[in-house]
């Protein structure tokens, strides 16, 4: 509303100026025509041309003035930009889209945001989805909800509908502190205030740089409207006066038009007297020639006056030079005064240093006295302590014999523990050889697939394993993360490898969902798992890929494990089923994904050890979103180079921190 008033005021001000211009042009043109004795018909045509030109300028100004202010395209850009600074917490990672809602009775803002969404397709790595609501009761969960007070909707109903959801409420035109983020347009420019308490209460936060730009206090918020209303009142009075002047100018234009119409009647009379007028014109031309001679004489007078002015200018220049020399003398005196002030300051500083030295000497004498007292007191205390020390030495001698006896016993126990540790370590190293023999070597992949394998056990043996096989022209690639790590995880991995050999190599089951379901049945039967026992915790997460070269299709299924597909510079995240390969409260069938692939596509399966590694300057987890960025950034380089870079990234991130889990990551390019 304030913006519309300011635009209307600007329009009337400029309209008044353009009417003045029209009046001036008409008057000047009419005067020139009379002096030149041009025919009345030409005078009328020239006047009409000036009127049409002036109204054309006024129309163009009105059109340009209407384009200023805080419009819908600007609102759309602000909403999209603000959405980037909102932190929804860890639960936001499960959202598949970033939904922006508009509570609006019209479609103008929705149209502008749709145009912007064609170029800004994602916000916080989520695809943008626009939703419009026509009433408060139709509101569903969105990440951002925008409403304008002029739409007439109830802010209380809106709060009730979004309560309990992480929805950033962006409003325009409401009172201070009534919304999370609130806009107001002042002088065609947007201002906003952010209610950090409401934002934090809804489980969200915003960037501190964003909060720094917001209006902090209610006084600042009200000051915007106070200044605007005062200026608007003054401008209203100006507009009223200008509107009255505009009406008067309009009447003057109508009178001029009537006068021009009356000239049509006079044309016929003027044509009869044309010859007389031409004679008069000749006489006037002779008079003009005489006036030219008079002008030449006046020009000579003006030249003499200009010479006098030049003489006065030279005199003034000399006076300026004298003033400049006097100012130089004054500057020298000021410099001398400054030097004297510097000497005085140096003397004052010397006196202060002398005072400081005197106080230091006094303080040193006091400290020496205190030190002497404490030396004497320490001597007496030391004398008493020596007496007590002799008594303690006798007691320590007795205790020393007992300690030596216990030391001999501890040495024997240490030797026994060292022997047991060596025996256990040798056993685990032998288990590592067995596990390494069961896990396929890095060269067992098909020659038709460029690939790499990153395999970093946490302990000597690993709870992660990978398994590959080529059956009936199809390449099977599996990554599994067993419960625990070290020896318990290694036992689970050996059980998984044994069962996979039976399921795929012997029974020729090649559908990923069937492979996981058969493996789950084998794990439950092998571990004799039941829902009411501790064995429910034992199991594994798994990602199974089957590459069908004949149909260019990737068959995939996952149990608590994802798959990343990189095509060009875009990464697609396929999520696995929320069930482990073990007994679970959910025992549904696993989902089968048929993914068409083409030459150059790269896909990655992995355990959670890479993303869960702590490190960096703040000792935080690496996180899956950072892993996605790294995979997209190195999409164009060979797979073995990718493995080298990923190993370097992992070691640099971990630094001196310990490895927290087994790490397995396999990348394949089709």
CATH value at residue 177? 3.40.50.2300
What is the percent of the chain where pLDDT is above 70? Answer: 82
To the nearest 10°, the Cα dihedral for 511, 512, 518, 519? Answer: 150
- 190 with 70: CB under 8 angstroms? yes
Radius of gyration of the chain (CA): 46
Task: Please state which of the ranges 194-203, 237-246, 387-396 shows the lowest mean pLDDT.
Answer: 237-246
Band (pLDDT 50/70/90 cuts) for residue 100 is very high
Residues 570 and 479 in one domain: yes
Residue 40 has pLDDT above 60, yes or no: no
Band (pLDDT 50/70/90 cuts) for residue 25 is very low
Residues 81 and 151 in one domain: yes
Band (pLDDT 50/70/90 cuts) for residue 631 is very high
pLDDT at 426: 61
Residues 234 and 107 in one domain: no
Could you read off the pLDDT of 287-337 as tens digits, one per residue? 888 888 888 888 888 888 778 778 877 877 787 788 777 777 877 877 887
Annotate 410-429 with b (16+ C-beta within 10 A) or e (fewer). Answer: eeeeeeeeeeeeeeeeeeee
501: in domain: yes
What is the average pLDDT across 2-24? 46
Could you read off the pLDDT of 175-212 as tens digits, one per residue? 888 899 998 877 667 888 899 889 999 899 988 878 88
Residue owning tokens 């025996």: 423
What is the average pLDDT across 432-442? 66
Residues 529 and 638 in one domain: yes
Residues 28 and 86 in one domain: no
637-641 contacts, C-beta under 8 A, 24 or more apart: 638/450, 639/450, 639/451, 639/452, 639/602, 639/667, 639/668, 639/669, 640/452
Domain span at residue 164 reads 72-216
421: in domain: no
> Which of 431, 434, 422 is closest to 459 using CA atoms?
431
Query: At a CB cut-off of 8 Å and minimum separation 6, what does 162 contact?
Result: 139, 141, 145, 169, 202
What is the percent of the chain where pLDDT is above 90? Answer: 34
Q: 622 — phi, psi (to 5°)?
A: -65, -40
Cα(479)–Cα(543) distance, rounded to whole angstroms?
5
- Among the three residues 190, 216, 242, which one is the final residue of a domain in this structure? 216
Greater confidence (224 vs 165) lies with 165
pLDDT at 430: 62
Greater confidence (428 vs 497) lies with 497
Residues 445 and 475 in one domain: yes
544: in domain: yes
Report how many domains make up the chain: 3
pLDDT at 562: 96
Residue 50 has pLDDT above 60, yes or no: no
Residues 657 and 552 in one domain: yes
376: in domain: no
Range of 17-31, 321-335, 450-464 with top mean pLDDT: 450-464
Query: At a CB cut-off of 8 Å and minimum separation 6, what does 281 contact?
Result: 37
Helix (H, G, I), strand (E, B) or coil at 446: coil
Residues 257 and 118 in one domain: no
Residue 557 has pLDDT above 50, yes or no: yes
313: in domain: no
pLDDT at 284: 82
Q: What is the CATH number of the domain that holds 537?
A: 3.60.40.10
Residue 662 has pLDDT above 80, yes or no: yes
Could you read off the pLDDT of 582-625 as tens digits, one per residue? 988 888 999 999 999 999 999 999 999 999 999 988 899 999 99
pLDDT at 396: 83
373: in domain: no
Could you read off the pLDDT of 346-372 as tens digits, one per residue? 878 887 888 888 888 888 888 888 888
For residue 242, give both structure tokens: 């200008």
Residues 575 and 636 in one domain: yes
Residues 176 and 259 in one domain: no
Residues 478 and 572 in one domain: yes
Residue 467 has pLDDT above 50, yes or no: yes
Q: What is the DSSP annotation of 630-644?
A: HHHHTTTS-HHHHHH
488: in domain: yes
pLDDT at 296: 82
pLDDT at 230: 59
pLDDT at 44: 45
Band (pLDDT 50/70/90 cuts) for residue 48 is very low
Residue 558 has pLDDT above 90, yes or no: yes
282: in domain: no
Residues 253 and 174 in one domain: no
């Amino acid at each position: 509303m304030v913006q519309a008033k300011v635009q209307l005021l600007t329009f009337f001000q400029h309209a008044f100026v353009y009417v003045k211009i029209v009046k001036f042009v008409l008057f000047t043109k009419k005067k020139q025509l009379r002096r030149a004795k041009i025919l009345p018909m030409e005078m009328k045509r020239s006047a009409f041309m000036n009127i049409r030109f002036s109204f054309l300028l006024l129309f163009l100004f009105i059109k340009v003035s209407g384009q200023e202010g805080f419009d819908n395209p600007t609102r759309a850009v602000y909403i999209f930009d603000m959405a980037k600074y909102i932190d929804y917490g860890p639960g936001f990672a499960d959202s598949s889209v970033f939904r922006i809602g508009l509570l609006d009775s019209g479609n103008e803002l929705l149209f502008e945001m749709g145009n912007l969404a064609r170029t800004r397709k994602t916000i916080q790595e989520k695809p943008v989805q626009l939703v419009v609501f026509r009433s408060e009761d139709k509101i569903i969960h969105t990440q951002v909800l925008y409403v304008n007070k002029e739409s007439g909707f109830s802010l209380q109903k809106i709060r009730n509908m979004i309560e309990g959801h992480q929805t950033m409420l962006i409003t325009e035109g409401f009172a201070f502190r009534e919304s999370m983020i609130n806009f107001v347009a002042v002088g065609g420019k947007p201002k906003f205030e952010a209610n950090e308490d409401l934002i934090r209460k809804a489980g969200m936060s915003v960037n501190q740089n964003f909060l720094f730009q917001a209006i902090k206090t209610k006084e600042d918020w009200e000051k915007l409207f106070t200044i605007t209303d005062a200026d608007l009142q003054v401008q209203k009075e100006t507009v009223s006066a200008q509107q009255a002047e505009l009406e008067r100018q309009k009447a003057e234009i109508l009178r001029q038009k009537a006068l021009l119409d009356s000239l049509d009647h006079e044309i016929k009379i003027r044509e009869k007297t044309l010859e007389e007028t031409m004679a008069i014109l000749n006489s006037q031309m002779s008079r003009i020639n005489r006036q030219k001679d008079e002008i030449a004489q006046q020009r000579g007078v003006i030249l003499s006056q200009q010479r006098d002015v030049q003489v006065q200018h030279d005199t003034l220049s000399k006076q300026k030079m004298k003033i400049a020399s006097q100012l130089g003398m004054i500057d020298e005196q000021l410099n001398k005064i400054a030097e004297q002030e510097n000497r005085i300051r140096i003397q004052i500083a010397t006196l202060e240093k002398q005072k400081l030295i005197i106080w230091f000497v006094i303080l040193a004498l006091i400290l020496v006295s205190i030190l002497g007292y404490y030396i004497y007191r320490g001597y007496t205390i030391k004398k008493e302590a020596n007496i007590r020390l002799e008594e303690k030495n006798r007691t320590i001698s007795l205790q020393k014999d007992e300690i030596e006896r216990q030391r001999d016993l501890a040495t024997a126990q240490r030797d026994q523990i060292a022997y047991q540790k060596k025996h256990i370590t040798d056993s685990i190293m032998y288990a590592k050889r067995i596990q390494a023999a069961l896990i396929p070597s890095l060269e067992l992949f098909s020659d038709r697939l460029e690939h790499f394998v990153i395999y970093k056990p946490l302990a000597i043996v690993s709870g992660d394993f990978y398994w590959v096989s080529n059956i009936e022209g199809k390449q099977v690639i599996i990554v599994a993360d067993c419960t625990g790590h070290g020896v318990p995880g290694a036992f689970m991995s050996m059980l998984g490898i044994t069962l996979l050999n039976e399921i795929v190599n012997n029974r020729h089951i090649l559908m990923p969902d069937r492979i996981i379901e058969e493996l789950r049945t084998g794990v439950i039967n092998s571990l004799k798992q039941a829902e009411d026992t501790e064995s429910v915790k034992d199991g594994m997460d798994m990602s199974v890929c089957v590459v069908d070269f004949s149909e260019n299709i990737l068959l995939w299924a996952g149990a608590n494990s994802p798959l990343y597909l990189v095509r060009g510079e875009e990464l697609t995240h396929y999520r696995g089923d929320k069930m482990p390969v073990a007994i679970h409260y959910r025992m549904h069938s696993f989902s089968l994904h048929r993914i068409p692939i083409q030459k150059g596509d790269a896909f990655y399966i992995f355990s959670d050890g890479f993303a869960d590694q702590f490190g960096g300057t703040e000792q935080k987890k690496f996180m899956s979103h950072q892993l996605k960025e790294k995979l997209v950034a190195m999409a164009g380089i060979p797979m073995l180079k990718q493995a080298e870079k990923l190993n370097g990234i992992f070691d640099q991130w971990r630094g001196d921190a310990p490895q927290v889990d087994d790490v397995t990551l396999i990348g394949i390019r089709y």
